[in-house]
Structure 1
């Protein structure tokens, strides 16, 4: 086989692989829930606050050198923080607050702009707290492949955050 045929077959294989990745899901959703002995109001108040969020931020546990700079109002829409650590840099801003949910816009630069939410609903004398994230991976084939592993990468961080909420909100 000559070099031109090998190059042509290789190019076809790479192109086929790239096209195949486009069949992977474009949207990724990750969710974890826990029952917490606190009121929904206490959880929402923590989540909607710059300083409150830092009391349960799981990434501070995972990276003791995480740098956090707060901005905007102390609580509510527009409240947020920028961060830089071993896993990268970005910004998180409170986009909406209701009695049962705080929605956050994240900007992870070239890694994307996912939306996160923390919801808190009273259930039988406790509060079911759900931490979720939705992300559009776009047309990037590398991101689509990474999307297959996102639940396993991010889910444990949410579980740690929920455990931290249980500790500080009680």
Structure 2
């Protein structure tokens, strides 16, 4: 196979750019880069046209924190998260049977992109997202194709992007935006 010429690299996606900006802001907050260095690196990240152009902007930064992935698992029964809680960058939810309810309406969402990976057998799942969140369910495979997505409405700019992926057996998934 012939390698692609450097000028034919695929363009950078907005998700990759958002992740790079978030990593730079985190590094600044942790005191790893100065204000001047942050400005310079942000300029590189925001003007990058290809993935390879992000490398200099992220050079010498630590990888994303390992604590940004959490798993909630139960063989049966209920999995319930509501109120004020910190949403990790990647949340894995595993349940053989039972109900799952994730309420992100009052949760602390610190990441511009949150990945929720569902691995559910039977039972129902309900996810309430913040009013300004954008929801993407393209990566979710359902056995019964029973998805009630009440979150498909225009959201205000600046909200987190919630990607829901994984597999559901014979349960039902309901997604809705918070009212307030």
Q: Same fold (TM over 0.5)?
A: no
Q: Which has the higher contact order (CA 8 A, sep 6+)?
A: 1
Between Structure 1 and Structure 2, the one with more helix by share is 1
What is the TM-score when the length of structure 2 is the normalising length?
0.21
CA radius of gyration, larger in = 1
